[in-house]
């Protein structure tokens, strides 16, 4: 979808149907790195068609193609691809320039680069220290086999290191300093490695992976729980709603399954049936007012928008990483929910949503800040307001390319 702005509405405000979600972007991107290091032993089923995953797959193919001089790999706005490739490219023969979009060149990578240099990687900054683009000389000769890294930074840094650990000559011991943010994503990485025979040990704050060979295996990528979160919001904001999401598992590797419990407090009941996950609008939302999103920060925009729309004054914590995502998501949320009178107030590490001045705007256009999650988090507001506008709707291609098509299938009107 290439329009600069779309108008979104839903005449009946009621939702009933089935939505087949794409494969998890988080699982898919890990699977691609595991496959690339697996020497032909790993197959993947139900790979995501998200832009980030397509971009990473193309980058891995380009990296595997010998070139004279430096091989420039541009991953655009694909953050996971940047982190994973920063680690992966050190293991293969060749010289690389790893770069991305203007926003990507503003997102810090220094902590991961420093960790890689500790074990012998040859990585340099092409422009500003601590940020992409990176100059990487592959075929790393490993020196040390132990890294210390802060736990309250992006879990993708940690996962990037863990994904290459078994391919290092000496393996890797990773010491996590302080409290670990987004623990489920690290657990996901280790569980996916286990699926291909890579064993790990995790005791207290230390993870150890010995050098070992990948075994023959097929990785099945579960549908995306992050994508499912927007359908929870849609059901929560509908007048009446029921949605079936096939393929989602009760015992998921994905941390965003936390949306099941969170949205139970906003009037959405979940039931895992043979044909998939059933979401149903119920009339008994709880009075819970405090939510810790430390292990699922990608759900923050969805939760903030739903709470603001339902006029629920709640408090949130665990949002430390939101300021270094595709955009400063805290600032973006404050600006956009302010367009209908809601406030997101920062109080140290806690954020308070205030809704006493919420009103229904007659003509409102929400900016998306080159951030896919902003577009999808705000789209369900068309079930509360008569209509809304979404700017730069194509940003959803990053993780959920069929989002607008799926909305149209559920009787949303998109002009």
Residue 415, Cβ neighbours under 10 Å: how many?
Answer: 10
Contact of 413 with 10, CB cutoff 8 Å: yes
In eight-state DSSP terms, residue 157 is H
Residue 121, Cβ neighbours under 10 Å: how many?
Answer: 24
- Closest by CA to 311, choosing from 225, 236, 222, is 236
How many angstroms separate the first and last alpha carbons of the chain?
11
Per the annotation, the verdict on 298 as an active-site residue is yes
Segments of 252-364 assigned E as strands:
268-273, 276-281, 290-292, 315-317, 343-347, 350-354
Alpha carbon separation from 381 to 141, 178, 198, 228 (Å, rounded): 53, 38, 44, 16
* Whole-angstrom distance, CA of residue 49 vs CA of residue 55: 10
Would you list the DSSP string of 388-405? EEEESGGGGGGT-TTHHH
* Whole-angstrom distance, CA of residue 34 vs CA of residue 28: 10
- The structure tokens listed for 16 are 């009933």
Residue 208, Cβ neighbours under 10 Å: how many?
Answer: 17
Residue 195 C-alpha from the chain's centroid: 21
Given the residues 145, 224, 256, 298, the one annotated as active site:
298
* Whole-angstrom distance, CA of residue 388 vs CA of residue 363: 7
Q: Is 274 exposed, middle or buried (0-12, 13-18, 19+ CB in 10 A)?
A: exposed
Tracing tokens 């011991």 back to the chain, one arrives at: 173
* Whole-angstrom distance, CA of residue 81 vs CA of residue 31: 12
Four-CA torsion 186, 328, 97, 127, nearest 10 degrees:
-130
- For the annotated catalytic residues, the residue numbers are 298
């Amino acid at each position: 979808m290439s329009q600069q702005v779309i108008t979104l509405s839903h005449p009946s405000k009621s939702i009933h149907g089935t939505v087949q979600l794409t494969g998890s972007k988080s699982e898919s991107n890990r699977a691609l790195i595991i496959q690339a290091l697996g020497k032909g032993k790993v197959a993947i089923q139900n790979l995501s068609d998200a832009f980030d995953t397509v971009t990473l797959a193309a980058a891995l193919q380009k990296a595997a193609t010998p070139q004279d001089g430096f091989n420039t790999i541009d991953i655009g706005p694909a953050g996971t691809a940047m982190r994973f490739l920063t680690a992966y490219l050190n293991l293969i023969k060749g010289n690389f320039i790893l770069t991305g979009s203007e926003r990507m060149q503003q997102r810090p990578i220094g902590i991961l680069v420093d960790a890689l240099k500790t074990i012998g990687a040859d990585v340099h900054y092409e422009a500003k220290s601590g940020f992409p683009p990176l100059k990487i000389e592959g075929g790393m000769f490993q020196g040390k086999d132990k890294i210390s890294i802060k736990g309250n930074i992006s879990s993708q840094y940690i996962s990037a290191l863990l994904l290459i650990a078994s391919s290092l000559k000496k393996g890797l011991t990773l010491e996590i300093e302080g409290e670990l943010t987004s623990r489920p994503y690290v657990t996901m990485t280790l569980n996916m490695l286990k699926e291909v025979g890579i064993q790990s040990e995790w005791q207290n704050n230390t993870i150890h992976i010995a050098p070992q060979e990948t075994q023959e295996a097929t990785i099945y990528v579960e549908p995306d729980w992050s994508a499912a979160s927007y359908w929870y919001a849609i059901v929560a904001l509908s007048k009446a709603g029921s949605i079936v999401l096939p393929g989602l598992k009760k015992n998921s590797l994905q941390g965003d399954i936390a949306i099941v419990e969170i949205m139970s407090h906003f009037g959405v009941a979940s039931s895992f049936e043979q044909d998939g996950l059933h979401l149903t609008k119920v009339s008994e939302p709880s009075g819970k007012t405090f939510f810790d999103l430390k292990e699922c920060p990608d759900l923050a925009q969805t939760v903030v928008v739903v709470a603001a729309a339902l006029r629920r004054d709640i408090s949130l914590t665990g949002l430390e990483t939101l300021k270094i995502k595709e955009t400063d998501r805290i600032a973006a949320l404050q600006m956009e929910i302010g367009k209908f009178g809601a406030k997101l107030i920062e109080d140290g590490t806690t954020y308070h949503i205030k809704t006493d001045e919420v009103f229904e705007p007659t003509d409102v256009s929400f900016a998306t800040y080159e951030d896919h999650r902003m577009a999808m988090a705000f789209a369900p507001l068309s079930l509360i307001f008569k209509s809304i506008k979404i700017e730069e709707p194509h940003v959803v291609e990053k993780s959920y390319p069929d989002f607008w098509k799926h909305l149209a299938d559920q009787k949303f009107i998109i002009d």
